[in-house]
Structure 1
Amino acid sequence: MHFWNKGTWWKALLLVAVYWVVYQLLGFVINAIFGGVINKENPLADPLTVLVGLALPVLLSGGLLFLFVRSVGWAGEVFGRQPLQGRAWMWLAVVLILVPIVLRLMATNWSAYSVTLVLVTLFFGLCVGFTEELATRGIVVNMLRHGGYGECLVLVLSSLYFALLHSGNALTGQAPLVVAITVVYTFGFGAMMYLSMRVTGRLVWAILLHAATDPTTFLATGGIDAHGDTSGAEGLLSIAGLFNFVYILIALVAIFLVRDRVNRISSTYREPAIASEPTN
């Protein structure tokens, strides 16, 4: 607890790296045990593949992160109300997340999926939203605040670490250019999640927005990180895809607008104060 409460950028990066390694190891073990029932060619082939091959390692990783948060006494800070009030312009991030979700729902070829597969995919999205938001917008943000970092750096570093989590796709054989594009997009998306958490006041809303983004993307495109045979209306999907560029643009603008700072006197939660002078 003493070690983690003295938050620094490298400790936050260390925790993210350990989480990623643990997640990969869990996936490897689960694949070794349940490989016979997992369709490795098509992750959305059937409900069992989604539940065991995709959701289970994420769920277990999220459980370990939750235990970590409880062990260092951060549950109240991470899941409680944000110590800084969001600005009105930050609601733009919530709108920009919701619009493509609606577009993908309209574009999805629902007849290509069973009700069970849809429900299991939504559950998988909830696991991803909980785990990834807890890791980056929850633990990383709280750790950096304990270290005295200004919110501009909190925004940048938490979004950057979230993006770096997705750089591991290169180890699965994904083309370097695709990985690079994914990292840039996820930085922008991470910034939207930070702004959504700030303006709604709680981490849970970022979790739910994230939880709705991934499964609607998978179902609409018919695959994970790719378009499959069951992809939906291309026109609506193209419009939804344009928001990825908007996220990056808003993230860059937000870097110049976010200027708050949370002052934490000790490891015990205190009512935070805003510094009198804007600081990065």
Structure 2
Amino acid sequence: MRIILTGASGFVGRAVLQVLSSTADLAVIIPLRTPMRAMPDGVLSYPIHDLTDDQSAQFAVHRPDVVVHCASRVHIMSDKSADPLAEFRRVNVDGTLALARAASDAGARRFIFVSSIKVNGEETQPGRPYRSDDEPKPIDPYGISKLEAERGLLAHGAATGMEIVIIRPVLVYGHGVRANFLNMMRWLDRGVPLPFAAIRNKRSLVALGNLVDLIVTCVDHPAAAGQVFLVSDGDDLSTPDLLQRMASALNKPARLLPIPSWMLDAGAKLLGKGALSRRLCGSLQVDISSTQERLGWQPPLGVDDALRATARSYQEDVRK
């Protein structure tokens, strides 16, 4: 089987590449903007300038059976673009649909799209986790662009017969994680007191290894065709629970202060950090029962094992 994998130098794509390139009977081809320092044996690559490049000629040469599309313009906390939605649409919608057309023209039978839970929305109410068949309610330009890409892909699949598989991850953590999760580990590692002991929320997370396992499962699982899958570790945590378990993984104490959530929220809004406050204090849960039942899939990594592995990789990076 021949697979074209986009985003192979990114956080998720790099981990997918490691698994696919070590799987027998798979030939992996990756488009790259810059050369990779350590290319796995047997992997082919070709140069691109941008995700929106016309890749029809390359697809015609390599004739993939499956495309795994991990590349995107990612969510940016403080986007300085004059028109953020237009920029997200250019890459995440136009680029994705151009890839899909190149794939179907080249005879690909399946297109796997790594989307985002932001298609569903930003926050859930107690006891009401997001489901894959809920009406999408994206709020920010990133989520809107991902939904538009999903709808364009499903329409293209219906017109051409190419199987579309959509995966919506929640927050992904693991080796190489950046942004807020990395900051959280730094705070805990340095013993910084954190004002989250009184938070009573629930959030779904997904370990990188669990997400990669689902993506690889969807490469050839017959029941994946035409489906939308939500993915998490299946073990939702409150913010203080996550901090305590991450601190334990780092072998550090968690110094948590009981500041009321309304006070945290008010302070965050005054500082222009309302979105960050929502992530730390609000709930966002997903129901993965449909994913599990349709694919016969279970997350292979438990939360504590995944947090320990993330802590080890962080500590190794710090020592370098």
TM-score calculated relative to the size of structure 1: 0.28
Q: Which has the higher strand share?
A: 2
Q: Which has the higher helix share?
A: 1
TM-score calculated relative to the size of structure 2: 0.26
